[in-house]
Amino acid sequence: MSSLTAVLYGALVVYLGGWFMGYWMGNFALLLFVLSAVTFAFWLAEKLYFKPARVAAAARLEQMDRDRRAELHKLGIEKVDGDLAEARQRVLEQPWWLDWTAGLFPVIVAVFLLRSFLFEPFKIPSGSMIPTLLIGDLILVSKYHYGIRLPVINTKIVENNAVERGDVMVFRYPVDPRVDYIKRVAGLPGDEVAYLNKRLTINGQEVPTTALPDFYDEESMRYLQQFSERLGAVEHRILVDRDRPGFIPAVANFPHRDACTFSVEGVVCKVPPGHYFMLGDNRDNSQDSRYWGFVPDANIVGKAFFVWMNFGNLRRIGAFN
């Protein structure tokens, strides 16, 4: 069993190493599920077989010591050397390969359940959601806000809150579901969403905006136009680059592509049933539904709601819209 454990840990190191080096795409949810299953098997074997075997061996050792002392007593020998307590402790001691498998099961399964059904941490890797979320923000995502889904297969089993315009949502990228994206919900099923000349319109009604002081983007070292936008019940800030054109270049084919009309002014889309139209708050620096289409309900991961850490700026910690 020690050899099997060493092989399993070796495979884990290879998998994580290849993931870190970029040789393949990892799936953390699947990894936690597999680790939970493997450590549970060792934990069950420990409870049902290995620990009872050690307890029985310790009992035999104690019986042998009693028999030995009884025989020596018959011979008139009262003082007997030997530390039975230390020997018993060594017999009962859990071997390293059980300590690193069965011993880790409660921790791994707790992390798996917490991450699958309650909250999942994410790191913001790009500037598509500036100024709401900055590169390096570590955020929490509510996994149950839109309903409870089975881990790994992401099948919804319990309904909860409906998706609303203005929500900041994490979802599986429709082009490559192994990758998680974060954007803001602009269009619900059945909505007609128009983004023309850098103005957002929902069902024929222009989304209200208020001009704010320009925002200095440290990455590009440029000032961008900043607005306060009210999308649904949520008021948030957006950025617009006055120097970039409004049209959407080189749009690839995607499911329900015929529901969108592209022009030099921008794009107009009719959101299909069971899908959502997503936009980044950094409107001219965001690959979103304007480029790759709609997000199906099955791809939803959860609602982002809290920055729990930014090591470069502790003032970032807190809730956001």
Q: Is 183 among the residues known to form the active site? A: yes
Greatest CA span in the chain, whole angstroms? 108
Instruction: Report residue 65: phi and psi, to 5°.
Output: -65, -40
Q: In the annotation, is 74 catalytic?
A: no
Among 143, 183, 198, 303, the active-site one is 183
User: Residues 116, 128, 142, 286: which is the catalytic one?
Assistant: 128
* Positions marked catalytic: 128, 183
